[in-house]
Structure formats: C-alpha cells, structure tokens
A and B are shown apart, each in its own frame.
Chain A
C-alpha cells in the first residue's frame, strides 16, 4: 500500500495541474510529511537474531529444567518477569508506547505462567480459578501502572478463564462473575486510553459475562440486562465522535439484542409479541447501522432478523413450504420498504 507521502505527491501533481495549488509550494508541503520508517536488512536480521536467541534460551532452560534446583527455577521465572517488566519501564522512559505496551502485555503473561510454575516447582496445590483470577488482577495492576491496553486485554482474558474454571471440588458455589465487573472497567479504560483493541476485548467480555451471570435467568432479569445494555449503547452513540465509541456501540447492541432474545425464551403466550418486537428491534438496528455507516451494527441487525425469523418458524412448527412462504413475504416487505425509501429520498 502506498504511503501517505507517495499519495500526497500524486495528489499535489494533480492539484498543481488543475491550478488549485501553486507549484512553488510542492516541495515545502512534501517536506512537512515524514517518510515512513523502513526496516532495513540489518534491522530485520537483528530482530530475527534476537527472536532466535530467545528461543534458544527457552529451549536450553526447558531441556535442563528437571536438573535445576527449585530455587534456581523460581529465580529464573522471576528474572524473566523482572526483565520484561523492567524492559517495559525502560521503553516508557524512552517514550516508546508501542514497545511499552507489548512488553507489559508479555510481562502479564509471564506472571500468569510464573504463578502456575511456582505451584508446580514447590508442589503448592491450589484452585485454578484462584490462580487465574490472581493473575488477571496482577495484569490489571501492570496495565494501570503502564497505561498498557495489551496488559488490560490479558487481564480480561485471564479473569474470564478464571470464571470458566470454577472453584473446584469443595469450593463454595460462585455467585458472581469477576468478568461482570472487570469488563466495564476494561471499557472505561478503553474509553480514556482511546484503545480500539481493548474496546473490542472489553465489549466481547461484557456481553459474555452479563449474559451468563449465575442464578435464575428469568425474563425480567434478562429484560433489565437488555435495558442496561441499551442505555450504555445510547451513551456510546451520544459520544460517537470519540474514537472507541463506535466499537463499544457495536458490542453493546449485540448484548442488548441477545439479552432481549433470551428474555423471551419462556415467553409462553407472549412469545409472538416478543418475536415481533425482536424483529422490529433488529430491523431498527439495520437501519441505524446503515444511517451511521456502522458495518458491525448492520451485520448485528441482519443476524438478529435472521435469528428471529428462524425462531418464529420454530415456534409455529412450520414445514419447509410454509417457511418458504414466510421468507418470501419478508423479502417482499424489505424490498418494498427499500424502494419506498429510495423514492422518498430527496434528489
């Protein structure tokens, strides 16, 4: 893909030819744009060499792991953690945010591994859930200290895995999902740090966590969850000029539609009303997505509509011919509405 400078150079030639920009300004304008950094062969070889050296060290340690004294093994894993975290601190001091982010994410992963390996080295039996959640909290600490979205994503993943691991035999029944609180915290960090990857990770986490909370999944609780998702989506839409608002909005709408769909799982006599409402909501999301040019929203709405239609067919116990008829009616309706909208649009 051509760099911005190359594209600007081509544009400038066109603009100068059209008389929009004076020719004398061409060089000055191009000089103001930095050339993208190119990785030369020496740098590439250095990176490859460093990676291979790291692999060699890891293989050597793994081959001799059993023969090392416990204190040495423990020291090695602590040293690995200290080296990556120290590297992250150095990168922060040198104001290299990408390197800081990467090293702190790696440090968070190494710490999680260190917890597990310490248990193995010293035969400390523990619950995987406690270890994963502890590692997740540690990753959050690193994320906050270093303003690292990578470490925050690692934290969300570890806490989510901890929720799924369960407490083990004899542990009290888990009444809460840590992810239910961690995911909104992740969303807040994504907002303030303007991190799109973290926004996606937190969005996915909040949908899974809030829809799978332990306890009775009754209709009213799901409806309330849908309303909360909807309110948060409204907030994201209101602040849509923020870089991560669009990403969060997409996931919040996913959560709202999914929660509303689950609310009608045992709707009984009201199931047809629920399906109709879900269909309207999904269609509304499609329209919203097209209006805002938000592809994820459009896709979510379309999937919602397809799912709702399938649900209606399942409820009515219709055969293939009836299903064909229903789909044909829906298709004609969608085409008709689209045509009407096109005709009523201003020229």
Chain B
C-alpha cells in the first residue's frame, strides 16, 4: 500500500509545484510596474509552436545613443516619454542603471542604424520573448505591425517590471485595444 501512496504524493507535489510556478508568475506580473514599449515587425512565425508574435522592442533615439557598451547583458534604464517608456541608459548594476532613468530592468540594449540619420535602440528584455495568440489574433497583430513599418507604432508590448527588476509580458496593445494575458 505504501508505493501507490508514494506515487500519489509525488504526483501531487509536482502538480502543486507547476501550479505554484504559474501563480507566482501571475502575481509578479500583476504586482509589477506597468510600462508600454513600442514594437517593430519581425518575421517569421513558427508553425510548430502555434501562432505567436516575436516581441521586438525598438524606438528611435532623438539624439546620441544613450548606451555605454554595445549589447552587454545587464541592467537597462527606462524613462517615460508620453504614454510609453524608452531606453535612457544602461549599467552593469541596478543602481548604476537606476541613476539614468525612472526604472531599471534586466536585459540588453543595442543602438543600431535605422537606415536614416536617426539611430534606433533595440531592447531585449530577459523574460519577454513572444506573445502566443490564436490564429485570428496573431494575424491582426501581424497586420498592425506591418502598418507600423511606414507609420507610427501601432503595437506596444505591455510589460510588468517587478520589484526584482525582472520584466514579464502582460499583453499587447494593438491599435489602442489591449489584449492582456489572464487566466481566461
């Protein structure tokens, strides 16, 4: 009788661990500071892991590149500009990055040529990679991303920056309509 009980206890612990992980991530996502970050279109989509959109965060740089060092993974400083946030600096430590912006978040950033006189900043946030959606939703997001190639950004990543400096994706805002990750 002992072995069946052991199996059930082990399975229960493992299921509880998985549930706990999901609940913890949801709580951290809800409790963090919400920021809006402009996205740019990026191909392709994978057919194997369902429909999803790669979250590629970029914005133009008004003046000189605000980053020191190129592409180093560390801490990125974000500051509000209108209703969105933009990269205003980086640092090897959280304190160094926090001196250059309102928020410090874990990730990496790069200044790249935008093809014109203006440089653009590309932001890679640790913990923010892709947004899974059903086929219809993924296609409408893709359409909005394509439209933002020639016009102003229409798709924004809604990111929650937790007390631990970790970014978590809350959802996307597409043409003013929010699609948030929830239990339903």
Contact = CB atoms under 8 A, between A and B. Distances in A.
9 contacts: A81-B15, A90-B4, A93-B1, A100-B7, A125-B129, A125-B130, A145-B7, A169-B108, A169-B124
Interface stretch (A110-118, A284-292, A313-321, A331-339): A110-118
Interface of A: 65-67, 69-71, 74, 78, 81-82, 85-86, 88-90, 92-93, 100, 104, 107, 111, 114-115, 118, 120-126, 138, 141-142, 144-147, 169-170
Q: Which of A92, A122, A141, A147 has the most CB of B within 10 A?
A: A122
Interface of B: 1, 3-11, 13-15, 17-19, 21-22, 25-26, 49-51, 73, 108, 124, 126-132, 134-135, 168-169, 181-184
Contacts of B49: 120
Given A111-B14, A120-B50, A69 B19 contact: no
Nearest to A97: B3
A82 B15 contact: yes
Contacts of A142: 7, 10-11, 14
Contacts of B183: 69-71
A67 B134 contact: yes
A86 B181 contact: no
A173 to B, nearest CB: 13
B184 A70 contact: yes
A137 to B, nearest CB: 9
Given A71-B183, A120-B50, A122-B25, A88 B108 contact: no
Given A67-B134, A120-B49, 11 more contacts: A70-B181, A70-B182, A81-B15, A86-B8, A89-B4, A100-B7, A111-B14, A122-B181, A123-B130, A125-B127, A145-B3
A66 B11 contact: no
Nearest to A95: B3
Contacts of A89: 4-5, 7-8, 11
A65 B19 CA distance: 20
B7 A146 contact: yes
A111 B132 CA distance: 21
B3 A146 contact: yes
Most buried by B among A65, A71, A89, A120: A89
B109 to A, nearest CB: 13
Contacts of A126: 127
A179 B10 CA distance: 22
Given A85-B7, A92-B7, A142-B10, A78 B181 contact: no
Nearest to B74: A170
A120 B132 contact: yes
A121 B11 CA distance: 21
Contacts of A92: 3-4, 7
A74 B21 CA distance: 12
Contact of A78 (B13, B19, B51): B19
Given A66-B135, A93-B4, A86 B11 contact: yes
Contacts of B50: 65-66, 120
Contacts of A170: 73, 108, 126
A42 B182 CA distance: 47
Contacts of A145: 3, 6-7, 9-11
Contact of B22 (A67, A122, A169): A122
A118 B18 contact: yes
A92 B9 CA distance: 14
Contact of A125 (B5, B14, B128): B128
Contacts of A115: 18
A118 B184 contact: no
B21 A123 contact: no
A88 B129 CA distance: 37
Contacts of A86: 8, 11
Listed from nearest, the 6 A-B pairs whose CB atoms lie closest are: A85-B11, A66-B134, A145-B10, A170-B73, A89-B7, A89-B4
B101 to A, nearest CB: 20
A78 B19 CA distance: 9
A81 B128 contact: no
Most A CB within 10 A of own CB, among B7, B49, B51, B124: B7
Nearest to A94: B4
Contacts of A67: 134
Nearest to A147: B3
Contacts of B182: 70
Contacts of B127: 125-126
Contacts of A120: 49-50, 132
A85 to B, nearest CB: 3
A125 B126 CA distance: 8
A71 B184 CA distance: 6
